[in-house]
Structure 1
Amino acid sequence: MDRLTEMEAFATVVDQGGFTDAAKKMGISKSAVSKHVSALETRLGARLLNRTTRRVSPTEIGMAYYDRARRVLNDAGEADALVTSMQTAPSGTLRISVATDFGVHLLSPVLGNFLSAYPDITVNMVLNNRYVELISEGFDMAIRLGEMEDSSLRARKLTETGQKIIAAPGYFQKYGRPLKIDDLNNHKLLHYSNQSTGNVWKITAPSGERRQVRSAGWLTVNDGQSLLQAAISGLGIAYLPSFLCADALKKGLVEEALPDLPDDPLGIYAIYPPGRYTQPKVRAFMDFLVDTFQDRGPDNW
């Protein structure tokens, strides 16, 4: 008899709690399930199940064997699914959570190119700045900036963005220009409200040391575009990703507060659930993003 079939019959009996329900689950006769399990016990030379008229339960050896057998069966199922997925054209609904600034400024303008290339995929894009629970909230992927907080998820780096400390020329005329990192503590700072570190800026000094600037700030908001507009209006100094403020810098609407600081790029990642294979629609979208942004960043926006 087929060894995997024997394993599957035994594991299904354990899962279902009996031969009758296991037979229904597998779509074969009860006697066939019994023969598979008996053949397995004979081959192994061990009793795997305790059988009574009222219930069936695994023996101690049976429980240990079940744990390993279930892993083998899961791996076999994933292997079959992998082959199927690799031969299947990407399709279905792709539900993604995207950091608001990235989604509005970088992803939305190119999303039409992806949909044209993959007409069988529909995209449900949710813009937010919180770290969603991918599996429990039903997301296929998330796109996030900065350090990844959940190491159990898989991540693929798409590109990098620089970070700029900027303010309007009028602000510098009114309040002066900071000459070093410590001077920022005496200025009006504009903060993201969704940062896990609170109103703290982590900045790399010319020496390479990581410095922290703590200030209550004059304005705190959960949207980067609003912070940029506040900086352009002269309300204070903001610390923003390059892709968001590059155009304003080119137009002279804002200037760098500390232009001599070393580059401190921020990674942009596609995050997706763990697993031995990736759904075709997810793989197609990640490949599209990598290809789209391969020549962009950290400051080439």
Structure 2
Amino acid sequence: MDRLTEMEAFATVVDQGGFTDAARKMGISKSAVSKHVSSLETRLGARLLNRTTRRVSPTEIGLLYYDRARRVLNDAGEADSIVTAMHSAPSGLLRISVATDFGVNHLSPILGSFLRAYPDITVNMVLSNRYVELVSEGFDMAVRIGEAEDSALRVQKVAGTTMRMVAAPSYLESFGRPDRIDDLNEHKLLHYSNDSSGNMWTLTAPSGEKRQIRTAGWLTVNDGQSLLNAAISGLGIAYLPSFLFADAMREGAVEDAMPDLPQETLGIHAAYPPGRCTQPKVRAFIDFLVESFADRDEDW
């Protein structure tokens, strides 16, 4: 007889507390269950179950065998599930957490293409600059900007961006262009209030030295697009990712306030819970992102 079937019959008898309920659970006859268990005991040369007219319970050695057999059966079931999942078409609800600026400017415009390509997937995209706990908050994945800090998650880079200080030509004409990092203390800075470091920018000097600049800002707001709008209006210097200001810079609405400083490069990552098998809907969306942003350099 099949060894896994014998294990399953024995484990189900233990789980259900008897042959009748085990037969009902497995969808076979009571006599078939009994034959599988008897064959297992004969092959092992050990009695695994104590049988009385009222109840069935595992012997001491049967209990030890049950623990190992249940692990084997669970692993076998998981193996079957992995193969089934890998061959199934992407479908179901895909819940994504996305950094607000990137979601509004770059994900929202292309979501239609993804949904048309995968009509069996529905998307719930939550725009937030808050760091969400994917598993406990019910998200399938997140798109995050910057370093991948959570080692408990799997991460794949989908694009890159650079950070620059930008200001309107009118502001630079009125207040001058800062030549050195220390000159920023004399300028009107526009800060991002969700930054965990507070009103502090980490910059790289031409020498390669990392400098942390903490200055009072003329405006603090928790939205990157609003900071860009303020910079375009000539209100000060903003430190923003290039995916946000690239169009404005091409149009001449803002300029690099300190072009001689080395650019800070940030990765744009897809983060998702670990597991032996990535859900088809998650894999489909990550592949879509990689393909969509493949032609973008880190100055976009």
Q: TM-score range by the shorter chain?
A: 0.7 to 0.9
Where does residue 151 of structure 1 map in the other structure? 151
Alpha-carbon offset, residue 291 of structure 1? 0.6
SS in structure 1 opposite 2:247?
Answer: helix
Alpha-carbon offset, residue 263 of structure 1? 2.7
SS in structure 2 opposite 1:75?
Answer: helix
Paired positions, count: 298
The CA distance in 1 between the partners of 2:102 and 2:125, in whole Å, is: 12
Question: Which segment drifts farther, 47-56 or 117-126?
Answer: 47-56
The answer on whether the counterparts of 1:17 and 1:57 sit within 8 Å (CA) in structure 2 is: no
Where does residue 242 of structure 1 map in the other structure? 242
Please tell me the residue identity of whatever aligns with 1:192: Y
Alpha-carbon offset, residue 87 of structure 1? 2.6
Residue 103 and residue 51 in structure 1: after superposition, are their counterparts in 2 closer, same or farther (change >3 A)?
farther
The CA distance in 1 between the partners of 2:184 and 2:123, in whole Å, is: 42
1:1-301 counterparts in 2 under 5 A? 1-8=1-8, 18-19=17-18, 26=26, 62=63, 66=67, 71-299=71-299, 301=300
The answer on whether the counterparts of 2:178 and 2:184 sit within 8 Å (CA) in structure 1 is: yes
The CA distance in 1 between the partners of 2:194 and 2:262, in whole Å, is: 25
CA RMSD in angstroms comes to 3.2
Question: Which segment drifts farther, 33-42 or 262-271?
Answer: 33-42
The answer on whether the counterparts of 2:9 and 2:36 sit within 8 Å (CA) in structure 1 is: yes
The CA distance in 1 between the partners of 2:132 and 2:160, in whole Å, is: 21
Please tell me the residue identity of whatever aligns with 1:181: I
SS in structure 2 opposite 1:162?
Answer: strand
TM-score by length of 1: 0.82
Alpha-carbon offset, residue 101 of structure 1? 1.0
Residue 36 and residue 201 in structure 1: after superposition, are their counterparts in 2 closer, same or farther (change >3 A)?
farther
The CA distance in 2 between the partners of 1:245 and 1:98, in whole Å, is: 18
SS in structure 1 opposite 2:159?
Answer: strand
Alpha-carbon offset, residue 249 of structure 1? 1.1
Question: Which segment drifts farther, 44-53 or 221-230?
Answer: 44-53
The CA distance in 2 between the partners of 1:126 and 1:275, in whole Å, is: 23
The CA distance in 2 between the partners of 1:210 and 1:44, in whole Å, is: 68
Deviations 1:28-57 (A, max 9, x none): 677876776776677667888899989968
Please tell me the residue identity of whatever aligns with 1:90: P
SS in structure 1 opposite 2:211?
Answer: strand
In structure 1, the gaps of 5 or more residues are: none
Please tell me the residue identity of whatever aligns with 2:100: T
The CA distance in 2 between the partners of 1:228 and 1:129, in whole Å, is: 16
Please tell me the residue identity of whatever aligns with 2:266: L
Please tell me the residue identity of whatever aligns with 1:201: W
SS in structure 2 opposite 1:4?
Answer: helix
The answer on whether the counterparts of 2:164 and 2:263 sit within 8 Å (CA) in structure 1 is: no
Residue 250 and residue 32 in structure 1: after superposition, are their counterparts in 2 closer, same or farther (change >3 A)?
same
Question: Which segment drifts farther, 47-56 or 108-117?
Answer: 47-56
The CA distance in 1 between the partners of 2:48 and 2:294, in whole Å, is: 55
SS in structure 1 opposite 2:148?
Answer: coil
Please tell me the residue identity of whatever aligns with 2:237: I
